[in-house]
């Protein structure tokens, strides 16, 4: 549920935000079911179906009120009052099930309705009135902070003295009238995000409101809870930490999943063969028998195949592919043979596109650069209503040229402006494929299958997947296998083996 909420709606600040949302949704579904049961029952008689419909509708009203309470960051007292109100309202529903349909003659109608109404009032009081009369939220105590530090391990343990020092200073400022007031920290323009990376590890990052990543965890955690504990430790230690300049040269670490196997350990072999048209071709065969790559074109002789295989060996290792984390600019060629770009989210949503085609891939990449620069100006975005009554947005250059749009319509102006906010948040960080040497392109063919191809910066296709995959993830796994196996794979000439066999038979 949490992952679905994160991918489809937004990054939750707490798990309660997600649970409250699902309680609210469940309340809506329960209310719809209750109304359907009541409307399909015989309203002239007290049937079980109609009775159940009324009860479900009443329960749905309780859930619709409790859901937002769970989502809001209220004090514990407010939550307890609201939960107590929900319990009282459910007692009223239980009383209705017992007393109905003879509750009027027995005189229980008014008491049952009163109990239910009292429960709803308590829920409303807990959500609205208690926060108004209860004062400001209480700051976390030293003991609570120390508990978080203990869960975080050694780095968090070092923060206990700092917390105690802050509390002591605060106490002295309260007792000493001449003490200088403690300045409140300025309001932050950034927020912490906890997310799950491609490897299934949990990480945190600090993102400025302009979209730039200010800091990150640098390491993965086995669970979301541990990532949140690490984040809490950073928030405690960072304000008083010293800045130390260390001259350390850090080499970029290559992803283990893409690192090539050492010589002699490759699990693949290049095979050279002659096709039915008399042309020579190559293919990369895994030791399990699967063909993981092929050349896609024929050559006139063996030497040309040798050269092609050598180019693949040299280019496939450093060749990059598009990583969507959580967004990326995808450059592709459409059915009209024009180059286009689009900003895609890892959940599959298209956040923006260029709206027009380009004559070359380079022009499309230049268009992405213009969008990155222009998106920083909020005034460059225009929201308008189309002929179908839907709201759309577009990004306009200084010369009034439309350089990007949302690609879809929204039911309200707010929806369009929220879309603009997401684009401005992601556009600076979104990766784009860099064709230096060669790069892997992942595309969807006419049959709806995903394939990859290795394209040189001069436009030449060095190799392709040879087969289609059911998902983009499958295509990425396939090209990763090629990156691991191709650089040090041997080359077998199948025709030479066939000739040797025929010579042996003649002898």
- Angle, helix 109-124 to helix 48-71, in steps of 10 degrees: 20
Per-residue confidence (pLDDT) for residue 362, from 0 to 100: 84
Per-residue confidence (pLDDT) for residue 142, from 0 to 100: 39
Rounded Cα distance, 442 and 332, in Å: 9
Rounded Cα distance, 204 and 195, in Å: 6
CA 340 to chain CA centroid, nearest Å:
24
Residue 204's beta-bridge partner residues?
Answer: 194
Per-residue confidence (pLDDT) for residue 394, from 0 to 100: 92
Residue 319: Cβ-neighbour burial (10 angstroms; 0-12, 13-18, 19+): buried
Per-residue confidence (pLDDT) for residue 166, from 0 to 100: 38
Number of continuous H segments (helices) and E segments (strands) in the chain: 16, 17
CA 440 to chain CA centroid, nearest Å:
23
Rounded Cα distance, 261 and 429, in Å: 31
Q: Integer distance in angstroms from the first to the last C-alpha of the chain?
A: 71
Q: Which helix (H) or strand (E) holds 492?
A: strand 490-493
Per-residue confidence (pLDDT) for residue 393, from 0 to 100: 92
Rounded Cα distance, 303 and 300, in Å: 9
Q: Is 349 helix (H, G, I), strand (E, B) or coil?
A: coil
Q: Tokens 């796994």 appear where? A: 477
Per-residue confidence (pLDDT) for residue 381, from 0 to 100: 93
Contact (Cβ atoms closer than 8 angstroms) between residue 159 and residue 235: no
* Domains, the chain, with CATH or none: 2-133 (no CATH), 143-240 (3.30.160.160), 268-321+439-497 (2.30.29.80), 327-432 (2.30.29.80)
Contact (Cβ atoms closer than 8 angstroms) between residue 284 and residue 269: yes
Question: pTM of the prediction?
Answer: 0.40
DSSP E strands, 34-151: none
In this structure, the chain runs to a length of 507
Per-residue confidence (pLDDT) for residue 209, from 0 to 100: 61
Rounded Cα distance, 442 and 430, in Å: 17
Per-residue confidence (pLDDT) for residue 31, from 0 to 100: 86
- Please give the average pLDDT of every successive group of 10 residues along the chain, which has 507 residues: 67 71 87 85 68 84 85 74 87 84 78 87 78 49 40 39 41 47 63 73 74 74 80 79 54 54 82 89 89 86 90 86 79 81 81 86 87 89 90 90 88 90 87 75 83 81 87 87 89 66 49
Q: Is 435 helix (H, G, I), strand (E, B) or coil?
A: coil
């Amino acid at each position: 549920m949490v992952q679905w909420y994160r991918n489809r709606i937004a990054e939750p600040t707490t798990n309660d935000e997600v649970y409250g949302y699902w309680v609210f949704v469940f309340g809506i579904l329960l209310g719809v079911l209750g109304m359907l049961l009541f409307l399909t029952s015989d309203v002239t008689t007290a049937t079980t179906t109609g009775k159940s419909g009324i009860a479900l509708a009443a329960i749905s009203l309780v859930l619709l009120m409790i859901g937002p309470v769970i989502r809001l960051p209220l004090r514990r007292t407010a939550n307890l009052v609201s939960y107590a109100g929900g319990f009282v309202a459910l007692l009223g529903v239980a009383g209705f099930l017992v007393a109905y349909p003879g509750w009027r003659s027995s005189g229980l109608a008014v008491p049952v309705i009163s109990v239910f109404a009292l429960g709803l009032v308590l829920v409303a009081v807990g959500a609205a009135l208690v926060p108004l009369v209860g004062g400001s939220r209480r700051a976390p105590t030293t003991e609570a902070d120390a508990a978080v530090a203990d869960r975080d391990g050694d780095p968090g343990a070092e923060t206990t003295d700092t917390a105690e020092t802050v509390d002591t200073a605060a106490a002295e400022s309260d007792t000493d009238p001449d003490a200088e007031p403690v300045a409140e920290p300025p309001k932050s323009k950034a927020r912490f995000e906890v997310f799950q990376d491609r490897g299934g590890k949990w990480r945190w990052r600090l993102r400025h409101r302009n979209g730039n990543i200010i800091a990150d965890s640098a390491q993965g955690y086995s669970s979301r809870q541990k990532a949140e504990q690490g984040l809490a430790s950073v928030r405690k230690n960072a304000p008083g930490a010293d800045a130390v300049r260390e001259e350390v040269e850090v080499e970029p670490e290559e992803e283990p999943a893409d690192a090539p196997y050492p010589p002699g350990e490759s699990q693949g072999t290049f095979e050279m063969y002659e096709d039915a048209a008399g042309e020579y071709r190559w293919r990369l065969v895994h030791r399990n028998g699967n063909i993981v790559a092929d050349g896609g074109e024929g050559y006139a002789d063996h030497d040309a195949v040798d050269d092609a295989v050598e180019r693949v060996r040299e280019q496939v290792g450093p060749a990059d592919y598009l990583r969507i984390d959580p967004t990326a600019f995808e450059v592709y060629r459409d059915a009209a043979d024009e180059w286009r770009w689009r900003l895609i989210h890892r959940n599959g949503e298209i956040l923006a596109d260029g709206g027009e085609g380009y004559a070359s891939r380079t022009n499309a990449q230049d268009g992405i650069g213009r969008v990155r620069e222009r998106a920083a100006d909020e005034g460059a975005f225009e929201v308008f209503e189309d002929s179908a009554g839907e709201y759309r947005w577009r990004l306009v250059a200084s010369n009034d040229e439309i350089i990007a749009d949302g690609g879809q319509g929204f039911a309200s102006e707010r929806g369009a402006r929220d879309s603009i906010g997401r684009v401005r948040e992601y556009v600076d960080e979104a990766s784009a494929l860099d064709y230096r040497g060669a790069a892997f392109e992942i595309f969807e063919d006419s049959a709806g299958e995903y394939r990859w191809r290795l394209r040189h910066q001069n436009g030449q296709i060095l190799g392709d997947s040879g087969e289609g995959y059911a998902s983009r993830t499958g295509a990425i796994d396939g090209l990763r296998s090629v990156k691991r196996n191709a650089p040090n794979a041997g080359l077998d000439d199948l025709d030479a083996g066939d000739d040797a066999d025929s010579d042996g038979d003649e002898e």
